[in-house]
A and B are shown apart, each in its own frame.
Chain A
């Protein structure tokens, strides 16, 4: 009887520790590890345009993607940094890749016009549907990025 009580106590303790771990687990700041996809922005955008939204989003959103492009603008900040890439495809595509400040030392080595390879979490693509939209570009957004050598 005492043994059963001890087992139950251990199980409850494990459940509490696991619960607390999951609850207090901080959000990851960087999409490191193995990329789920290595794809060009051109291919990603074309697939986003041609594929059904939900199929495309299920496949790519929240996944880690590695891609390349030329730096079009660079903004290094204390709370968040961002580079915009020119995907060399079409002038109506803007690629926004945001970085945690922990990556600023790598970003400071970059200047506008440089070619870079990034690995990021993909947050989605927005395609303007209305010709009157002020936001008339296709916007591709990534976060938790790192620069890959």
Chain B
């Protein structure tokens, strides 16, 4: 009987802990991608990623594709209309969990992390892993992440005459400042 009580108590603590894990959402952030070939290097930046993480290691970000800003208008038009088909797939999204360190718990200070989850770009979902850094102070969490994706994995076709200008491997840099999620009311 005592044994069952202990199990019940532990289960209650686990579920209460899970239910009350603190969620942090971004107040500022950017996501930047870089394409680099022997002939051309270019980047685009997006200042509107919505990023969230929970204190027990769940991570999510959602990015409006049309918010990527390029230096050249023509590049932006091609990116939105021809490659990303943003009117069909207006958002890219990642949902995952911190797998390293094991049993991640958000704590003050800097932690190197590995995240595993599902990335959806251009209507295609794919499992990815990424490394990053999470730095927590009393009132905020700063998140950095870097990872590569292959355009071919997401059925983003580069026309043959642009193969020298656009790399199939795109490096993505994410940076976000998060604060405890607050209610609007």
Contact of A123 with B54 at beta-carbon distance under 8 Å, contacts A57-B87, A91-B185, A98-B48 already known: no
Chain A residues, Cβ within 8 Å of B184: 72, 86, 91
Option from B27, B48, B71, B73 in Cβ contact (under 8 Å) with A123: B48
Among listed B59-67, B104-112, B133-141, interface-contacting one: B59-67
A76 shortest CB reach to chain B, Å: 11
Among listed A9-17, A37-45, A102-110, A131-139, interface-contacting one: A131-139
Option from B66, B69, B183 in Cβ contact (under 8 Å) with A62: B66
For B27, give the chain A residue with the smallest CB separation: A75
Contact of A79 with B87 at beta-carbon distance under 8 Å, contacts A24-B72, A62-B66, A123-B66 already known: no
How far apart are the CA atoms of A86 and B185 in the complex, in Å?
Answer: 10
B89 shortest CB reach to chain A, Å: 9
Question: Which one of A22, A24, A80 has the highest number of Cβ atoms from chain B below 10 Å of its Cβ?
Answer: A80
Contact of A126 with B87 at beta-carbon distance under 8 Å, contacts A25-B74, A75-B27, A141-B67 already known: no
Contact of A135 with B66 at beta-carbon distance under 8 Å, contacts A24-B72, A26-B73 already known: no
Q: How many chain-A residues does the 8 Å CB contact rule pick out? A: 37
By DSSP majority rule, is chain A's interface helix, strand, loop, or mixed? mixed
Chain A residues, Cβ within 8 Å of B3: none
Contact of A25 with B87 at beta-carbon distance under 8 Å, contacts A77-B28, A98-B67 already known: no
B118 shortest CB reach to chain A, Å: 11
Residue-by-residue, is B77-99 near A (CB-CB < 8 Å gives 1, otherwise 0)? 00010000011101101010000
Tell whether, in the assembled complex, residue A26 and residue B71 are in contact, meaning their CB atoms are under 8 Å apart. yes
Tell whether, in the assembled complex, residue A62 and residue B80 are in contact, meaning their CB atoms are under 8 Å apart. yes
Tell whether, in the assembled complex, residue A27 and residue B90 are in contact, meaning their CB atoms are under 8 Å apart. no
A59 shortest CB reach to chain B, Å: 9
Option from A54, A94, A134 in Cβ contact (under 8 Å) with B23: A134
| Residue B53 lies at the interface, judged by CB distance under 8 Å to chain A | yes
| Residue B35 lies at the interface, judged by CB distance under 8 Å to chain A | no
Tell whether, in the assembled complex, residue A134 and residue B52 are in contact, meaning their CB atoms are under 8 Å apart. yes
Tell whether, in the assembled complex, residue A23 and residue B74 are in contact, meaning their CB atoms are under 8 Å apart. yes
Option from B23, B76, B91 in Cβ contact (under 8 Å) with A126: B91
B57 shortest CB reach to chain A, Å: 11
Residue-by-residue, is B141-166 near A (CB-CB < 8 Å gives 1, otherwise 0)? 00000000000000000000000000
For B80, give the chain A residue with the smallest CB separation: A62
Chain A residues, Cβ within 8 Å of B185: 91
Q: Which residues on A are within 8 Å of B, measured CB to CB?
A: 22-28, 53-54, 57-58, 61-62, 72-73, 75, 77, 79-80, 82, 86, 91, 94, 96, 98, 121, 123-126, 130, 133-135, 139, 141, 143
Q: Which residues on B are within 8 Å of A, measured CB to CB?
A: 23, 25, 27-28, 30, 47-48, 50, 52-54, 58-62, 64-67, 69-74, 76, 80, 86-88, 90-91, 93, 95, 183-185
